[in-house]
Chain A
Amino acid sequence: MKRRKFIKNVAYATGASLSAPYILPSGRLFAATGSRIANHVIFVLFAGGIRNQESVDQQFISNQAGFSAEGNLMENMLSGAKPSTAGSFYSPWDPILSNPLAEQGTLFKEMRYNIGPTGHYNAHAVAMTGKYMTTGLNLNVNPEFPTIFELYRKHNSPTNSALNAWWISEALGPYPSLNYSRYDGYGVNYGANYIQPSTVFADLGGYFANAESYQPDDVQRINTVKQFLDNNFDQVAEEIPGIKNTAEDRQLIKQFLVDTINGVVDGSVDLAIPPDVPLSSLNGDLINITTAWQILKTFQPELMVVNTTNLDVCHSNFSGYLNFLHQADWGIGWLWDKIQSNPDLRDDTILICMPEHGRNLESNGITDNQNGFVAYDHTSDENSRRLFSLIVGPGNVQSGQTLGSQGEPVGQSVDIVPTIAHILGFHDSIPSYLLDGRILTEAFI
């Protein structure tokens, strides 16, 4: 009898353990199917076109004629001492992280952007869809293949609202169209919330700061009238481009926007800038990173892509490029520090950083006024296809690991999307023809 009871109990326990959801460090539950490595992924497209020479190779200005100084401009992301002559050529900010991200995760020191033109939008699209595009730039058109947001919202189980997927872009132009694709069966219904913070919070925030606000009861009364009007009209305004949040989520986002705009004015918003640095140094990249944190702590989305672009001044201003590179690194360190201060996100968030493409080996001959340094374009030469990537996270990410060399690169631009899908547990649900790359399994234990 005792034996029978024992077997019965074991059977119940086994069944329960198989059907029970996993519990993550944050205490959140998720279904056992498609196990996850973490519940939050932040992909920083460290963009604008960064050469490996000035970033991971730490060559600083040694490629400028007559200079030999080397050193690490990115002390928050990479290990290595800053250039001894740093202050002469850019304004160094003390690192915010005592332990650089490379030591807390895996650095893919040499990756490749193998196919297609090294244009900003095209390379953004490749990094965010996991598909190389050879058909042209198609500016101002939604990408051809599903973005990571659509893959996440369509294939993740359970399905999550757009409040869980955010695309935060430093610039307008073609970038707003990267929150969903034109691909049949995906598209706008699976897109991400898009925001361009420089306009919404800095330049034109005043328009929304004092907007009339409505309580849920007010909204209900308004919707009653709207519903009546809509019932008497055959057309549905579904063709309005752009994603659609539910009425409740829209209200939450609206409140967030108003609160953030007012918080910027009254000084209650944490800004991604060192306290001893003048506010005028808060550039577009750092406004973007500030907003990324505001969204993270407010909505705790599962997937966020945020970019930087300011260092594209390198087309004509190499000194400015060094400054922006250094400041964007500080911003990423600040963001990681903020995440570590939040108990819900700290042990449950993986950060991935990667430039969208590099820059040419040969200069374009344009010199800047500050130091007379020569500038670099990005016109698809081999050097502009060189990339690096950093994957940092809790215990299940390999720490202190560096992979790849110029002769033996490891990983490609198109590998980030499958890697994010792997982290969030829905990779196996994605049709394989939608992904050109592979999971960067080397980064995980």
Chain B
Amino acid sequence: MKTFFQKCLHFWLSILSIYLIGCTEEKTVIQQVAQVTYEIDSIDLYSSNIDKTRQKSDLQFISILYSNLFNASIPSNILNDLSQLRLSLGDKQLASEMMIDYFISNPAVIIPTTESMRNEPNSFIINTYLRFLQRAPKDYEVYALEKLIAENELLTSKEVYRAFTLSNEYQFY
């Protein structure tokens, strides 16, 4: 026959154990998610591009593009305007290209210089993958892009950014 005190103790110990188990599991989950701190936001990284199976919607594409290029959330008026412009053209690829060109021409866009790309191609490539594709590049990808940059003397950092934002992988998440 348990006393009232024992009953209470048993109840609270049960609650505490459930809480602790819950906390432990949550901690494990959090530890499993790879994270990178990139400028102001912390983002989850993909371990591989195989996980990207869903195509971005128009709104997702525009707002993510803006965030990636300016490291800031897109103002709602610009998002509305650009969504309307995208609706106003039948060729969505054309609309995307024109938006990218508009953003890239903006003085506030954050793009490394071509000189820094050529001086440190390895870190430029890794950072560009992290920034736009949210994953670390494979070794062969770094190697091949380094080679491309070295072989194409006129290739600029803006052009590389444009290629990343126009890539098929960038259309998916």
A211-232 vs B: 1/0 string, CB under 8 Å?
1111001100111111011101
Complex CA–CA separation, A162 to B164 (angstroms): 26
Residues of B near A210 (CB, < 8 A) are 102, 105
Residues of A near B172 (CB, < 8 A) are 233, 235, 237
Complex CA–CA separation, A233 to B132 (angstroms): 14
Whether A224 pairs with B152 at a CB distance below 8 angstroms is yes
Cβ distance A168 to chain B, nearest Cβ, rounded Å: 10
Complex CA–CA separation, A191 to B91 (angstroms): 10
Whether A224 pairs with B148 at a CB distance below 8 angstroms is yes
Cβ distance A301 to chain B, nearest Cβ, rounded Å: 13
Complex CA–CA separation, A196 to B90 (angstroms): 9
A195-214 vs B: 1/0 string, CB under 8 Å?
11001100110011011111
A66 within 8 A of B: no
Whether A193 pairs with B166 at a CB distance below 8 angstroms is no
Whether B82 pairs with A207 at a CB distance below 8 angstroms is yes
Complex CA–CA separation, A192 to B99 (angstroms): 21
Whether B105 pairs with A245 at a CB distance below 8 angstroms is no
Whether A208 pairs with B91 at a CB distance below 8 angstroms is no
- With A229-B167, A230-B167 known as contacts, the answer to whether A241 contacts B91 (CB < 8 A) is no
Complex CA–CA separation, A242 to B50 (angstroms): 25
A239-255 vs B: 1/0 string, CB under 8 Å?
11111110000100110
Complex CA–CA separation, A367 to B92 (angstroms): 42
- With A204-B85, A221-B152, A229-B163 known as contacts, the answer to whether A240 contacts B171 (CB < 8 A) is yes
Whether B145 pairs with A228 at a CB distance below 8 angstroms is yes
Which interface class (under 10, 10 to 19, 20 to 34, 35 or more) fits B?
35 or more
A172 within 8 A of B: yes
B123 within 8 A of A: no
Whether A212 pairs with B160 at a CB distance below 8 angstroms is no
Complex CA–CA separation, A194 to B101 (angstroms): 20
Instruction: Kindly report which residue of chain B lies nearest to residue A149, judged by CB atoms.
Output: B90
Complex CA–CA separation, A265 to B50 (angstroms): 47
- With A211-B102, A230-B167 known as contacts, the answer to whether A204 contacts B84 (CB < 8 A) is yes
Cβ distance A310 to chain B, nearest Cβ, rounded Å: 17
Instruction: Kindly report which residue of chain A lies nearest to residue B101, judged by CB atoms.
Output: A211
Whether B84 pairs with A172 at a CB distance below 8 angstroms is yes
Complex CA–CA separation, A91 to B172 (angstroms): 53
Query: Which of A214, A222, A235 is the one whose CB lies under 8 Å from B53?
Result: A235
B33 within 8 A of A: no
Question: Main SS of the interface on chain B?
Answer: helix
Residues of B near A214 (CB, < 8 A) are 101, 159, 162
Whether B84 pairs with A213 at a CB distance below 8 angstroms is no
B25 within 8 A of A: no
Complex CA–CA separation, A243 to B94 (angstroms): 10
Query: Which of B85, B104, B158, B169 is the one whose CB lies under 8 Å from A229?
Result: B169
B28-54 vs A: 1/0 string, CB under 8 Å?
000000000000000000000110110
Residues of A near B145 (CB, < 8 A) are 225, 228
Cβ distance B172 to chain A, nearest Cβ, rounded Å: 5
- Docked complex: A233-275 residues within 8 A CB-CB of B: 233-237, 239-245, 250, 253-254, 257
A179 within 8 A of B: yes
Residues of B near A228 (CB, < 8 A) are 144-145, 148
- With A204-B81, A213-B101, A232-B49 known as contacts, the answer to whether A179 contacts B163 (CB < 8 A) is no
B1 within 8 A of A: no
Residues of B near A239 (CB, < 8 A) are 55
Cβ distance B149 to chain A, nearest Cβ, rounded Å: 9
Whether A235 pairs with B94 at a CB distance below 8 angstroms is no
Cβ distance A296 to chain B, nearest Cβ, rounded Å: 17
A60 within 8 A of B: no
Whether A176 pairs with B87 at a CB distance below 8 angstroms is yes
Whether A217 pairs with B94 at a CB distance below 8 angstroms is no
B147-163 vs A: 1/0 string, CB under 8 Å?
01000101100111011
Q: Knowing that A195-B88, A207-B99 are A-B contacts, what are 7 other residue pairs whose CB atoms are under 8 Å apart, sorted by A's residue number? A: A196-B89, A204-B81, A207-B82, A208-B85, A221-B154, A224-B163, A242-B90
14 A-B contacts, Cβ less than 8 Å apart? A167-B90, A172-B84, A172-B87, A196-B87, A211-B98, A224-B163, A225-B163, A228-B145, A233-B49, A237-B55, A237-B171, A240-B55, A250-B91, A254-B98
